[in-house]
Amino acid sequence: MAFVHLNVHSAYSLLAGTMKPEDIPALARRRGFDALALTDTDGLFAAVPFQRACEREGVHALLGAEITRPRQRREASVQGALALDEPEPARFGPATRELGGFARERPAGPGDPRHRATLLARSEAGYRLLGELLTARHNDQGFSLEDALATALDSGELYVITAGEGLLHSLAPRAQSHLFVELRAGVGATILDGLRLQANLQLAASLKLPAVVTTGAFFADADDHALHRLLCAMRMNCVVTQLPDGAAAPPSAWLMDEPALRRSLGLAPGGGSRLTDPRLEAALQATATIAADCQVRIPLGRPRPPRFALPPGPDGRPQNTDAFLYRLAHEGLRERLGLAPGDSSPRARRTLAALRRELHVIRRREVSAYFLIAWDLVRYGRSRHLASLGRGSAASSLVSFALGITHVNPLEHGLTFERFLNLERAGLPDFDIDFGSLARYEILDYAFRRYGRESTAMIGTYQTFRPRGAFRRLVAALGLDEKRWGPIIKLMPRWGGCATLREQLAEDPRTRHLDLTRGDWPRLLDLAVRLDGLPQHLGTHPCGIVIAPGPIAHFVPVQPGAQGLAITQWDMHAVEAAGLVKLDVLGQRGLAVIDDTHARVRANFGRAPRLAGDPPLAAAGGPRRNAHGEAAGAVNPFLDGATRALLARGASEGCFYIESPIMMQILRQARCEDFETLTALSSIIRPGVSNYGGKRSYLMRHRGEE
């Protein structure tokens, strides 16, 4: 096939595209295409799921983006007059969205070619440059679209495709073979479309530039144009009937098959001699030439740990991460367990053998730097007298325990390391590290300073359409009576899917009286189903942080987020798939109380109380041991009578995971005084156990009453 779609937008062209990225390659394959580009507006938001879907379908994936001129520059480019795709500006309102603590301006509308260009990566170097340009687009106040496109052309690693006449005139003198005049399919839709096509063909000839055909596809089928316009109205915060010119793509912006494409251009379906235009035929063939030249793939499934600066080894020579982790883990384990040098007891042999097995797996999986970064954050926190707690599957790792990341010895509790990391598991290990609610921000600040703001970012997350939100936005975009619909919308489920909304409304006693077959209901329910799961905006993940082995923009573009921290355009699943180091740094109020208490004790008594993870108290001949055989000074709350008494009374408010009313009640009922019972109680309150009477049976047997 001669034609390849080079300008395709998924639903991650937020509030414009209607296609989910994982569905596009299969659709393209059914329509006879074996190559396809994804060019979402100002981002690589869906590059990973798109590439994966292309690989499943045997479709060659082209990675790119449609980059737009920032709003303030668009206004300047028309001598102070607003561009056609913009309503009256407002600080916070129709022209912006205040999300996550910052205002986001809208990109240029899909129907206005003057302020946008498509960039396609030819190589890995081109992909890295594309990430830099997109990052600059979102972060640099002085960003210039002309300068960005000039940089792209000068590199020779990116194709630039645009229909913007001003852009083409400024770029033509420096173009080599990678600048193309864009010809949008759609002749026959309106007379104006035909005039634009001819004008662009003449422009290409006058500038001696090649032309290329695109559809600028935002939706799968022509029938989806109405849904696209509704999304654009939501983006513009206006009623769909008042959508400004240029704010939405034309009806021809769908993923056409080749016969439909040729008809839209006024060409014979098979490329025969009747109704042909050599210039258009060449522009169609150029799409395949570009596609064949774009050979770039995001590496997936292999860890890409950041560089971890290491001190010299004991002999003064440089160390590698594996050797450094080996030494840290052995030293830390001996300290935490009070193992004297040369200890050959069965306990010591068994423990050290388990440690070596874990270190072997960690080395084979190439994740030593991952453990060291988690250790580094915890170590910094401890140097600032900040309590921390590693939890989740990381508690299954003896290495995590030895490094002070977690405070539970997995061997004593039968926890299996392979649940956390093994040679067969494809994913990366997952560290969840809690700090105090305020201390978390200090830790994040340290991480950004320690590993470089150019290499560190918070992970992005997408808010998607759910029943209540979808209905609220549909009612506004359609211009329906909000006073009438508002009370009904409040009764709709906030979460869940829209596909079963009809059934949920019919079953809910508050809404079962509604006649869903009359009035606006059928249309609204159908539209809500079509919006289900589509992303609305990019926000900041509540705890995820990613650290790259170089400039993070070389892997994924970043843009401003809350609290002034950069966020990735990828969500946590894409970040993990790309092998980037991801940690969850969470804030917990219980640890905040510990931090505050620790600070007050230091201030009032001049010395610091010991925290979990602190090194043991030293003594001549090795660490001192307490009556339980543990290193003196080790913190074990279950050996403390006062702690056990608090648990037995259910006085656990402020203790993460066991502070809910039902948990405090069951602690009292069980008179819990040990860790094993606490673990069981935290499990039996779950609905699956409680619903069949398991909670009552456990309590009766625990108390010896059954």
Closest to 208 in 3D by CA, of 185, 183, 184, 175:
175
Q: How far is CA 461 from CA 47, 427, 469, 538, 543, in A?
A: 15, 19, 17, 6, 11
Q: CA angle, 83 as apex, 81 and 86 as ends, to 5°?
A: 110
Contact indicator for 65, 37 with CB cutoff of 8 Å: no
Contact indicator for 370, 302 with CB cutoff of 8 Å: no
Query: Distance between CA atoms of 106 and 128, rounded to whole angstroms?
Result: 24
Band the pLDDT of 45: cuts 50, 70, 90.
very high
Q: Is 277 helix (H, G, I), strand (E, B) or coil?
A: coil
Q: CA angle, 467 as apex, 466 and 469 as ends, to 5°?
A: 70
Band the pLDDT of 564: cuts 50, 70, 90.
confident
Domains, the chain, with CATH or none: 24-73+106-293 (3.20.20.140), 321-460+542-591 (no CATH), 466-532 (no CATH), 640-706 (no CATH)
Please provide the DSSP assignment of 400-426 as one string: HHHTTS--S-GGGGT--GGGT--SS--
Query: Distance between CA atoms of 420 and 427, rounded to whole angstroms?
Result: 10
Report which secondary-structure segment, H or E, holds 440: helix 439-451
User: How far is CA 674 from its chain centroid?
Assistant: 39
Q: Is 648 helix (H, G, I), strand (E, B) or coil?
A: helix
pLDDT at 69: 95
Contact indicator for 460, 539 with CB cutoff of 8 Å: yes
Lowest mean pLDDT among 5-9, 421-425, 632-636, 637-641: 632-636
pLDDT tens for residues 492-525?
888 778 888 888 888 888 988 888 888 999 999 9
pLDDT at 101: 34
pLDDT at 554: 98
- What proportion of the chain, given as a percentage, has pLDDT over 90? 62
- Which residues, including other chains, have CB under 8 Å from residue 529's CB and lie 6 or more apart? 498, 499, 501
Cα-trace Rg, the chain: 30
Q: Which long-range CB contacts under 8 A does 358-364 form with residues at least 24 apart?
A: 358/397, 358/398, 358/399, 358/417, 358/421, 359/322, 359/325, 359/326, 359/329, 359/399, 361/417, 361/421, 361/422, 361/423, 362/322, 362/325, 362/399, 362/421, 363/322, 364/423
pLDDT at 78: 44
Contact indicator for 32, 316 with CB cutoff of 8 Å: no
pLDDT tens for residues 571-627?
999 999 999 999 999 999 999 999 999 999 999 998 877 776 665 544 434 444 444
Lowest mean pLDDT among 55-59, 97-101, 370-374, 387-391: 97-101
Lowest mean pLDDT among 463-472, 492-501, 550-559, 648-657: 492-501
Closest to 401 in 3D by CA, of 390, 392, 393:
390
Band the pLDDT of 100: cuts 50, 70, 90.
very low
Q: Has residue 386 got a pLDDT over 70?
A: yes
Highest mean pLDDT among 71-75, 367-371, 550-554: 550-554
Please provide the DSSP assignment of 173-227 as one string: GG--SSEEEEEES-BTTBHHHHHHHHHHHHHHHHHT--EEEE--B-BSSGGGHHH
Contact indicator for 10, 22 with CB cutoff of 8 Å: no
Query: Distance between CA atoms of 128 and 126, rounded to whole angstroms?
Result: 5
pLDDT at 224: 96
Band the pLDDT of 90: cuts 50, 70, 90.
very low
Query: Distance between CA atoms of 100 and 563, rounded to whole angstroms?
Result: 8
Region 364-377: mean pLDDT is 94
Q: CA angle, 263 as apex, 261 and 265 as ends, to 5°?
A: 75
Show the tokens assigned to 409: 């010895």
pLDDT tens for residues 14-42?
999 999 999 999 999 999 999 999 999 99
Region 230-251: mean pLDDT is 94
